[in-house]
Amino acid sequence: MGMASPIWAGTTSTSGQALVGLPDFTPIVKQYGPAVVNISTTETKVARNPSSPFPPNSPLNQFFAPFFGTPGGPGGAPGAESGQKYQVQSLGSGFVVSPDGYIVTAAHVVKGAQKIIVSLTNHQQYTAHLVGLSTRIDVALLKIDAKNLPTVQIGDSGKLEVGQWVLAVGSPFGFENSVTQGVVSATSRPLPDDPYIPFIQTDVPINPGNSGGPLFNMRGQVIGINDQIYTNSGGYMGLSFSIPINVAMDAVKQLKLHQKVHFGWLGVMIQDVSMDLAKSFHMKEPVGALVSQVVPGGPAAKAGLRPGDVIVSFDGQAIYNSGQLPPLVGALPAGFKAKMGIIRKGQPMTLNITVESLPNDMENTAAESSPPNGSMQKGEIKRLNVQVGPLTAEARNQLKVNTGVLVLGVGMGPAAEAGIRPGDVILQVAQQRVTSTADLQKLVATLPAGQPIPVLVRRGMGSFYLVLTLPH
């Protein structure tokens, strides 16, 4: 007696029709897959082997290579002695945007490469010329000597919505022309190291080698460039980030003309408003971008913006968190005039500001700092359990500040709980400027207990607010 074949869930019925209506990506792959390219690069590096504590032939070196850069590990090359040059090859992806050979990829795929090879799906290979790149947007434009190439269709990332299906094509771990799919998890997602990019977050499986490849929507249009993953293991964990194609192509247009990629600039350092910070600034809700530092002579300084102001709108658009502001301003041309809504000491105000172009030397140089060497007179603020001292000439030069007091020691207590560390410079307490140790002592003596107090500190080259609460 014969047995009937079972119908497995998610397959087809006996009539040959699908039981579920999942999206079919094959038309996109067939039409635009040939426009996706594989990119291999060769870069020359110098082997380093700084202070490994083990003998050169010790087997322990291979285990501690990630920490000491021993030859054969991430910090060196197999068989290379310290100081010797060696070659590193890496893989990435890209896509053709014009029939005459212009290709878009991620800047980190090709940055520093001495040789760039582009491989098409028909196995033809070309040596590519780097037209230009932008490390801030992480976009690069390549050119190969070819004609009549298949191209992708550029979409509008501004119309992308959370929940839409998307498709990635690339070379994860060198597996060429791999196709993965998922949905849009979020839009306009800023990341700490890339404030000018409103990333598209998806759950599309992206791995090393996918970088620079296209992210397609269901119309077969490229709406993003696959760029980063969030991972603890080095592999995919469900959080992938792509550069919106609108942002990328604006940069590509400038690169094609051999122009410097422009970014609008206000000249401020900002941070999110937490619930405690909102209370300390007498705000009803934790919204907006809190200004912690204003660049002297910059657009914000000229407009009258001060540390402690909270930006709640810009050019008619509400600002709910600090991540919204950099990509909004960065996309504006120099000379653009806007009205900026702020809250200052609990009162709403409007300032007129003119956007300028980001200077070439403006980089995020915030870093950890340590107390400068040298003896100085210490003062103890017992209510905070901190030791502070006046700013020496060395501290002023190293930290680029002319006012405030230097934190020399922090014991267990309110200051430590707020996050104040040795090496910090206290600039403001309760929005009052601190000019000396005695000044700080008087200010602290007047602070109410049990209420959040904003404290502006300088750490390295960056300033930000902490919340201090004194015990009863």
Cβ neighbours, 10 Å, residue 1: 2
**pTM for the whole thing?**
0.71
Burial class (CB in 10 A: 0-12, 13-18, 19+), 337: exposed
Cβ neighbours, 10 Å, residue 28: 21
pLDDT-based confidence at residue 378 (cuts at 50, 70, 90): low
Helix (H) or strand (E) holding 417: helix 414-418
3-state secondary structure of 214: strand
The pLDDT assigned to 16 comes to 62
pLDDT at 342 over 90: yes
The pLDDT assigned to 9 comes to 44
Buried b (16+ CB within 10 A) or exposed e, 79-105: ebeeeeebeeebbbbbbbbeeebbbbb
The pLDDT assigned to 371 comes to 43
pLDDT at 396 over 60: yes
pLDDT at 32 over 80: yes
Greater confidence, 93 or 323?
A: 93
DSSP conformational letter for 330 = H
pLDDT at 5 over 90: no
pLDDT at 193 over 90: no
> What value does the mean pLDDT take over residues 82-86?
59
User: CA 165: distance to chain centroid?
Assistant: 25
The pLDDT assigned to 19 comes to 66
Lowest mean pLDDT among 57-66, 230-239, 276-285: 57-66
Question: What domains are there in the chain, each with its CATH number?
Answer: 32-143 (2.40.10.10), 153-256 (2.40.10.10), 264-357 (2.30.42.10), 379-469 (2.30.42.10)
- Beta strand 337-344 pairing with 347-354: antiparallel
pLDDT at 84 over 80: no
- CA distance linking residue 64 with residue 400, whole number of Å: 38
The pLDDT tens digits of the residues spanning 207-245 come to 888 999 999 999 999 999 999 888 777 667 788 999 999
> What value does the mean pLDDT take over residues 85-90?
65
3-state secondary structure of 218: coil
> What value does the mean pLDDT take over residues 155-180?
91
Cβ neighbours, 10 Å, residue 259: 11
- Which residue(s) pair with 221 in the sheet? 153
- Which residue(s) pair with 209 in the sheet? none
pLDDT at 286 over 50: yes
444 and 468 Cβ atoms separated by less than 8 Å: no
> What value does the mean pLDDT take over residues 21-28?
85
User: CA 189: distance to chain centroid?
Assistant: 10
Q: From the candidates 52, 90, 93, 108, which is the catalytic residue?
A: 108
Q: Which of 13-17, 43-47, 333-337 ranks highest by mean pLDDT? A: 333-337
- CA distance linking residue 267 with residue 359, whole number of Å: 10
Type of residue at 115 = K
The pLDDT assigned to 235 comes to 67
The pLDDT tens digits of the residues spanning 449-460 come to 888 999 999 988
pLDDT at 313 over 50: yes
Give alpha helix (H) positions in 69-219. 107-110
* Token pair for 472: 């009863």
pLDDT-based confidence at residue 345 (cuts at 50, 70, 90): confident
pLDDT at 66 over 50: no
The pLDDT assigned to 435 comes to 87
* Token pair for 116: 């760039």
Q: Which of 58-67, 69-78, 213-222 ranks highest by mean pLDDT? A: 213-222
138 given a catalytic annotation: yes
58 given a catalytic annotation: no
The pLDDT assigned to 348 comes to 92
pLDDT-based confidence at residue 287 (cuts at 50, 70, 90): very high
pLDDT at 49 over 70: no
> What value does the mean pLDDT take over residues 100-120?
92
The pLDDT assigned to 141 comes to 96
> What value does the mean pLDDT take over residues 86-112?
88
Own/partner contacts of 126-134, CB < 8 Å, gap of 24 or more, are 126/101, 128/39, 128/103, 131/102, 131/255, 131/256, 131/258, 132/255, 132/256, 132/258, 133/107, 133/255, 134/107, 134/251, 134/255, 134/261
The pLDDT assigned to 237 comes to 78
- CA distance linking residue 269 with residue 185, whole number of Å: 28
> What value does the mean pLDDT take over residues 343-358?
92
The pLDDT assigned to 375 comes to 41
The pLDDT assigned to 125 comes to 93
pLDDT-based confidence at residue 358 (cuts at 50, 70, 90): confident
pLDDT-based confidence at residue 128 (cuts at 50, 70, 90): very high
The pLDDT assigned to 362 comes to 56
Q: From the candidates 40, 90, 93, 138, which is the catalytic residue?
A: 138
3-state secondary structure 233-263: CCCCCCCEEEEEHHHHHHHHHHHHCCCCCCC
What average pLDDT is seen over the chain?
83
The pLDDT assigned to 15 comes to 59
- Contacts with 255 (C-beta within 8 Å, 6 or more apart), sequence order: 131, 132, 133, 134, 139, 140, 141, 261
Cβ neighbours, 10 Å, residue 451: 12
Q: What is the dihedral of CA 117, 120, 126, 131, to 10 degrees?
A: -70
Q: From the candidates 52, 93, 171, 211, which is the catalytic residue?
A: 211
373 and 394 Cβ atoms separated by less than 8 Å: yes
Question: Which of 279, 283, 284, 182 shows the shortest CA–CA distance to 238?
Answer: 182
pLDDT at 260 over 90: no
Sign, CA dihedral 319-324-326-327, equals: negative
The pLDDT assigned to 14 comes to 56
> What value does the mean pLDDT take over residues 314-323?
91
Lowest mean pLDDT among 14-18, 27-31, 200-204, 447-451: 14-18
Ranges assigned E (strand) in 50-177? 85-96, 102-105, 115-119, 125-127, 129-134, 139-143, 153-154, 165-170
103 and 37 Cβ atoms separated by less than 8 Å: yes
The pLDDT assigned to 209 comes to 87
pLDDT at 369 over 60: no
